[in-house]
Structure 1
Amino acid sequence: MKLTSVYPVLMARDVAAAAAFYRDVLGFETTFEADWYVSLRQGLWELALLDPDHPTIPEGFRGSPAGGVLLNLEVADVDTVYQDLTARGVEVALPLRSEDFGQRHFIVRGPDGVLIDVITPIPPQGEYVEQFADAATPVDG
């Protein structure tokens, strides 16, 4: 199989409200919008939202929103994004901090229990340095 695109589709109880969050808070733009499905894009990155009761969802899987998902968004300057989102009143689930495994990040609560981890890679510390493949080791920007 040769992929031409990969993007998450999150099932959202209120597709319009979820789309507004991703547009207004995270800067995505709408590329397609129906009452049951919204496709969003920011640069090369895509995200879609789908009503969990839509008939395209197989029976037995319908009705469940996207809770339990952690969506990682890497940015150039996590400190600036943190200041912006907290000033706008976005609910922070994990405050800004640096991790020895190579991330400076914070987590906000998105629609339907989705957690959004906003990350800037930083050099790993201690035991984590050797756990990265050479080409994948985060370095200072």
Structure 2
Amino acid sequence: MVDDVDTVAQFYRDVLGFDTTLETDWYVSLRFDGGELAILNRTHETIPEGFRDSVRGLLLNVEVPDAAAEHVRMVETLGLPERLSLRDEDFGQRHFIIEAPGGVLIDVIEPIEPSAEFSAAYAGE
């Protein structure tokens, strides 16, 4: 739920490659690789009173083949606000976090080999 549906939807289309499946003046449905993302105006009458505040505490994971290249594109070239710098994690991720328009955090993740300690925590194939 956001204030500016058009700007937020355009971000997901331009930066992350989502396709539009439905678009109105207050609601946009986007699809990427079988998943759906709905963006809607937080003041619309279908949103119950008391739940129209800005989004807080939402972290959207996006898996990419090369997190370092995406970091260059998103942070250095496009100037998107970086909230966690590019790093490798023992639990098997190279990632960084940006803030999308509307306040959603996007964790851009490249799977990497986890440390031996974390390998044991993964479920079998």
Same-fold call, TM cutoff 0.5: yes
Instruction: Give, in angstroms, the shift of residue 65 of structure 1.
Output: 2.3
1:24 aligns with 2:14: yes
Instruction: Give, in angstroms, the shift of residue 81 of structure 1.
Output: 1.3
The alignment of Structure 1 onto Structure 2 pairs a total of residues equal to: 124
Partner-residue secondary structure (3-state), 1:111? coil
2:94 matched to which residue of 1?
A: 104
1:35 matched to which residue of 2?
A: 25
CA distance in 2, matches of 1:18, 1:65: 13
CA distance in 1, matches of 2:119, 2:33: 31
- Letter paired with 2:80: V
1:85 matched to which residue of 2?
A: 74
CA distance in 2, matches of 1:78, 1:45: 21
Instruction: Give, in angstroms, the shift of residue 22 of structure 1.
Output: 1.0
1:73 counterpart (56, 62, 65): 62
- Letter paired with 1:84: R
Partner-residue secondary structure (3-state), 1:48? strand
- Letter paired with 2:55: A
CA distance in 1, matches of 2:10, 2:74: 15
The gaps in structure 2 that reach 5 residues or longer are none
1:50 aligns with 2:40: yes
Give aligned-pair identity as a percent: 53
2:120 matched to which residue of 1?
A: 130
RCO higher in structure (CA 8 A, sep ≥6): 2
TM-score by length of 2: 0.90
1:104-126 deviation line (CA, Å, top 9, x unaligned): 10111112221000001111114
Which region of structure 1 is more displaced relative to structure 2, 79-88 or 96-105? 79-88
- Letter paired with 1:22: Y
Q: Which runs of 4+ in 1 moved over 6 A?
A: none
Asked if the contact 1:104/1:122 (under 8 Å) is kept, the reply is yes
Instruction: Give, in angstroms, the shift of residue 127 of structure 1.
Output: 2.2
Instruction: Give, in angstroms, the shift of residue 85 of structure 1.
Output: 1.1
CA distance in 2, matches of 1:68, 1:111: 14
RMSD: 1.4
